[in-house]
Structure 1
Amino acid sequence: MRVEIWSDIACPWCYIGKARFEKGLAAFAHRDDVEVVHRSFELDPNRAKGDTGPVLEMLAKKYGRTLDEARGMEEHVAANARSEGLEYRTEGRDHGNTFDIHRLLHLARERGRQNELLDLAYRANFAEERSVFDDETLVVLGVEAGLDEAEVRAVLADPTAYAEAVRSDEREAAELGANGVPFFVLDRRFGISGGQPAELFTQALEQAWSSRVLQPVAVTASGAGDVPVCDVDGNCEV
């Protein structure tokens, strides 16, 4: 069974949702028969490369809040992350264009190192004092994930490398009705939107496993109440 996850490295609920999904997967009896593929979704695709800025100032401007209020929003997300055993810095982080990261994730998928690179990128962005929006940091992360340095540099130097793969993922997300991330599609039968509890992921995996007749993908969050997502306009619910 294949699980496809649309996400963006800039999305805190994708960071949290990945951890929750993995806990749900660990409790699934057929977990060794599940292939997980990470797909591209940019929350801010029109942001220019190199246009980076502090997260707190971005949040304050986007939501019309004070810096203290933005800091409170971040603390709320941080509490959710820490409840899943994830580190989360509420200050000192940058926000920027994630297109190059997505391109490298496609390279990493071809080399069998996609999950490793994604975990490192999430950690660098949310838990460490490393900006993921400059090429040298991405080179370091790629090498740490097990990729060849020369190959990583070649992809970053060529803006067309894996560009269509990223755009294809984004078009497919739109066709499936995804208007926010994280967005999970299980075996092209069921869709789940948002950073759901681990137990719901286990239940969904069991349902998808037992239902082997192809059905249209339907986004569902039944029984989970309001679930935090980052939407297509880059708004992340807290």
Structure 2
Amino acid sequence: MRVEIWSDIACPWCYIGKARFEKGLAEFAHRDGVEVVHRSFELDPSLTGGKTGPVIDMLAAKYGRSLAEARSMEEHVASNARSEGLGYLVDGRDYGSTFAIHRLLHLAKDRGRQSELLDLVYRVNFAEERSVYDRETLVGLAVEAGLDEAEARGVLDGDTYAEEVRADQREAAALGANGVPFFVFDRRIGVSGGQPAEVFTQALEQAWESRPVTTLTPVGGASADAEVCDTDGSCVAPGAGDRP
């Protein structure tokens, strides 16, 4: 079974939702049969690569709130994060374009290191006084996640994986996602938001139990003595063993 998660590293509920999903997955009996794929979603695709600024200031301007009110909003999110055992800094964090980060996450996916890089990027963005919008910091995180430095720099210096990021975003729109995190279970069940862990466990169980069952019906008079090749490499015609 495949679970696809659309998220943006600038989204605190994606950070929290990932932790809650993983707790829900840990309680799922068939967790070893679940493939998790992280997909790209930019909350603000209009941002340019070099524009950054303080998160509190951005929230105040975006929602028409005072700086104190914006900080209170962040304190509420921080409380939720900390209840999941996650670090969260209210002050001192930046915002910026996440497009390059998403491209790098696609490289990590191809190299089997996507979850490792995503965890590092989330941690630095929300819990450390470093900026993931700084190119050298991002390269360092890629290397820490197990990626080749030269390959990571090559992605950031060009436009590799740009179309893959945009394709993820088009797919999210086609599925009706207008916010993140957005979880899709086997393309049949959708869960929106950073839900409690038990909600994810329930969704996993529902998706698992409702999987289409494929049964094979013999056709054309098929019989047990038709020509076959066994797993040991022997190919014997019916009745051949009885022939002199």
Equivalent in the alignment of 1:13 = 13
Query: Does 1:183 pair with 2:182?
Result: yes
CA distance in 2, matches of 1:149, 1:210: 43
Structure 2: 5+ residue runs without aligned partners? Answer: 214-244
Do the aligned residues in 2 keep the contact of 1:53 with 1:96 (CA within 8 Å)? yes
CA distance in 1, matches of 2:212, 2:170: 25
Equivalent in the alignment of 2:233 = none
Equivalent in the alignment of 1:23 = 23
Query: Does 1:74 pair with 2:70?
Result: no
CA distance in 2, matches of 1:56, 1:31: 38
Q: How does 1:85-234 map to 2 (within 5 A)?
A: 85-158=85-158, 160-213=159-212
Cα shift at 1:189:
1.1
Structure 1: 5+ residue runs without aligned partners? Answer: 215-238
Cα shift at 1:198:
0.3
Cα shift at 1:7:
0.1
Cα shift at 1:200:
0.6
TM-score (norm 2): 0.86
The Cα offsets for residues 133-186 of structure 1, whole Å up to 9 and x where unpaired, read as 12111100100100000000000011x200000000000000000010000000
The Cα offsets for residues 178-206 of structure 1, whole Å up to 9 and x where unpaired, read as 01000000011101000001001000000
Equivalent in the alignment of 2:4 = 4
Equivalent in the alignment of 1:43 = 43
Cα shift at 1:213:
2.8
CA distance in 1, matches of 2:189, 2:75: 32
SS at match of 2:76: helix
SS at match of 1:53: strand
Q: Percent identity?
A: 78
Cα shift at 1:91:
0.2
Q: Which amino acid aligns with 2:208?
A: W
CA distance in 1, matches of 2:30, 2:81: 27
The Cα offsets for residues 54-79 of structure 1, whole Å up to 9 and x where unpaired, read as 00000111111111111100000000
The alignment of Structure 1 onto Structure 2 pairs a total of residues equal to 213
CA distance in 2, matches of 1:139, 1:188: 33
Q: Which amino acid aligns with 1:73?
A: M
Q: Which has the larger radius of gyration?
A: 2
CA distance in 2, matches of 1:212, 1:154: 41
The RMSD of aligned alpha carbons is 0.8
CA distance in 2, matches of 1:32, 1:101: 28
CA distance in 2, matches of 1:139, 1:97: 16
SS at match of 1:192: strand
CA distance in 2, matches of 1:130, 1:29: 38
Q: Which amino acid aligns with 1:127?
A: A
CA distance in 1, matches of 2:116, 2:148: 14
